[in-house]
Amino acid sequence: IYNGLWFTGMRQDLAAYVGSTQRYVTGTIKVKLFKGNCQVVGRKSPYSLYDYSLATYDKGDAFDWSTSPGFIYIWGLPARTQAKVQPEPPE
């Protein structure tokens, strides 16, 4: 925030958004500190969105693989559209 923008409505809105995202931030973390490096080696929170069964490709995972093609199509739509409309950078 610079050029006096600290006192704008946009900064207040951003602060409200960040405050809202932090309401579930609680828990414990374990970090490994070694020679100027910091590595997270453990985390635990009652509100964690991490679900191992969704994050793994092991047998018995919970992800519904039949949804993949639709997701991939929608996720790639902006890039495909841009490639059609703007195939080469203008000179």
Q: What is the pLDDT of residue 28?
A: 97
Taking a C-beta distance cutoff of 8 angstroms, is the pair 60, 67 a contact?
Answer: no
Cα angle value 21/27/32 (rounded, 5°): 110
Q: What is the pLDDT of residue 81?
A: 95
Cα angle value 84/85/88 (rounded, 5°): 85
Query: DSSP label at 19?
Result: H
Q: What is the pLDDT of residue 55?
A: 79
Instruction: Mention every residue, 6+ apart, whose C-beta is less than 8 A from residue 11.
Output: 1, 5
Ranges of the chain with pLDDT below 50: none
3-16 confidence digits (pLDDT tens):
788 889 999 999 99
Q: What is the pLDDT of residue 1?
A: 64
Q: What is the pLDDT of residue 74?
A: 96
Amino acid at the residue 16 = A
Q: What is the pLDDT of residue 60?
A: 76
